[in-house]
Chain A
């Protein structure tokens, strides 16, 4: 799994962090954050930092530990281990100063349904310590930004989900915090509103450090400067969306249907130079369906000749690129992404012991067709080529 991040030229999950970032003043610093619930690790050793003007996206499936991390950063729950520094203040040691610098939109917007929008925002301004004479101006500003002015005097319980989400964001913006932590800010918005929300977040990023989370990749890649993919509390990979995408486009997959015996076919394919991995999907009536990974090269020709020589006729062959969604599913998939996970494990021979254990569970009684050593060798070759 770690191997992936290397392929993606991104940072390693542990150590090897970009030192350039240290020079600028990071508004958010999280170091070795751990949260365990009775033996279950919800957040497992996360570290990152965000400077002003940057947007960091947390990406991961539901239950990956995104909300837990955000709840720890905002001081709602405490960490088992590690530290969080916001604008230079430790969230545990100087909670009041640190919390003043944070605007937080939780997963479920914390709204009092029987207040009007204006009453609610006024209450928020008061608890955040906005001075009385500045309140009217501050409220006007956040309502303008979030386009909630026209519902200002309506009860929150009568608002639609999209408006409630915007009021939630307005609440986070009250008091001009330097840091914005937004947990799934796009949920419940219609496509038009999503575009507006993206623009708003991009505009806000100029003078804020922003962290937002999502389980939808396109949202994150559309606004964030950096994406952290998290799964089961662990950092899987961290890179810019462009880098993630670029490297993925290089990963070509050839889907094949070949008449012939399973072992024979895979043996032939494994002997072709440049193929990183052969994945057997199923075999029916003597026809194997399989997927071949061939890095950045188009190997269809070699595949054709090799199989022709071995007298294994190709019934179908087509090529497909892997999208960001594929990376995401591969990196985070568990049961539903069983197959994809296997790809991942194979590509990362240095995968941790735990990952290998998981793989064994997932594979169950299935036969794995590739010879690992062989594959590793090929992969190394492939990497050399790439360099």
Chain B
């Protein structure tokens, strides 16, 4: 695993990729911080992170992750890795840790900001560092998502575009949810459509029509049953489901001065889930 990690890290720091990623993030952080902390005069560094800073992930995370497996596959070097004694887990984790390390350089530099600000006045370190922790966890989660998308696709550019739209969707998912009609009947409809999408995904992964159809029938029956017996359960459920799915809503909890353990666990699970899916996607590819 160390060999893969070193090789990847070396790639990011001998090509422009790593430097561009770090420089753009720090440029944005420096600019927003000078506006908010120095010009306007807020003493809270988390305001910087809570602002448009996170939008950078939409563009920069795909650029960092797009090549992870897609490039290996294109140049056929995945044959070297997958026929070596290394397990798929070690390959993916090695590669992911390299990407994460590049990102953590950004986080490490950000750790200095509150310290620098503190020499000009009172700074709440607790909230500032909670904010930075949230920022780090969000970044790690989105990089894991990008890694997964890169393992599924052959072409780097397509991987980047798909990652771009996936992250964009994550940003706006709770906004989108609030636009849906809020009646219970339409909630049932929307949940049914969601269930159908999940079942299609299951079918795509397993290629087993029986399992997918069975899942849909059981799920739909349960939904209808709950709808008939316990209508109040459906009040505002669409917004609740979508905001539960929304990574950004989780991120916002870090900006509200409180370290919410469930959000930490949520983001870490999100990261692990997508790394796990990456490993499965490579293993599954073999069986084709």
Contact = CB atoms under 8 A, between A and B. Distances in A.
Contacts of A127: 3-4, 80-81, 84-86
Contacts of A71: 79
Given A127-B3, A128-B84, A113 B286 contact: no
Nearest to B78: A110
Given A78-B287, A99-B83, A99-B85, A106 B75 contact: no
Interface string B5-45: 01100010011000000000000000000000000000000
Contacts of B77: 110-112
B3 A110 contact: no
Interface in A98-142: 99-100, 102, 104, 106, 108, 110-114, 123-124, 126-129
Nearest to B15: A114
Nearest to A78: B286
B156 to A, nearest CB: 15
A214 interface: no
A347 interface: no
Contacts of A113: 75
A108 B74 CA distance: 11
Contacts of A112: 7, 75, 77
A78 B76 CA distance: 17
Interface string A60-97: 00000000000100111110000000000000000111
Q: What size tier do the contact residues of chain B reach? A: 20 to 34
Contacts, number: 64
B85 A96 contact: yes
B288 A74 contact: no
Interface in A25-44: 37
A355 to B, nearest CB: 29
Contact of B83 (A97, A104, A111, A129): A104
Contacts of A171: 80
A39 to B, nearest CB: 13
Interface centre among B4, B75, B78, B83 (most CB of A within 10 A): B83
Given A37-B288, A108-B76, A127-B3, A102 B83 contact: yes
B241 interface: no
B3 A74 contact: no
A100 B76 contact: no
B231 interface: no
A106 B76 contact: yes
A104 B3 contact: no
Contact of B80 (A77, A97, A110): A110
Contacts of B6: 126
A23 to B, nearest CB: 30
Contact of B85 (A77, A100, A111, A123): A100
Interface in B63-120: 75-87
A77 B283 CA distance: 9
Nearest to B4: A127
Nearest to B71: A112
A177 to B, nearest CB: 10
Given A106-B79, A171-B80, A77 B286 contact: yes
A13 B58 CA distance: 57
Nearest to A101: B85
Contacts of A95: 85, 87
Contacts of A110: 75-80
B211 interface: no
A75 B83 contact: yes
A334 to B, nearest CB: 26
17 contacts: A77-B286, A78-B286, A95-B85, A99-B84, A100-B85, A102-B83, A104-B83, A106-B76, A106-B79, A110-B77, A110-B79, A111-B77, A112-B77, A124-B80, A127-B4, A128-B84, A171-B80
Interface of B: 2-4, 6-7, 11, 14-15, 75-87, 286-288
Given A95-B87, A127-B81, 11 more contacts: A37-B288, A96-B85, A99-B83, A99-B85, A100-B85, A106-B80, A110-B79, A112-B7, A112-B75, A113-B75, A127-B84
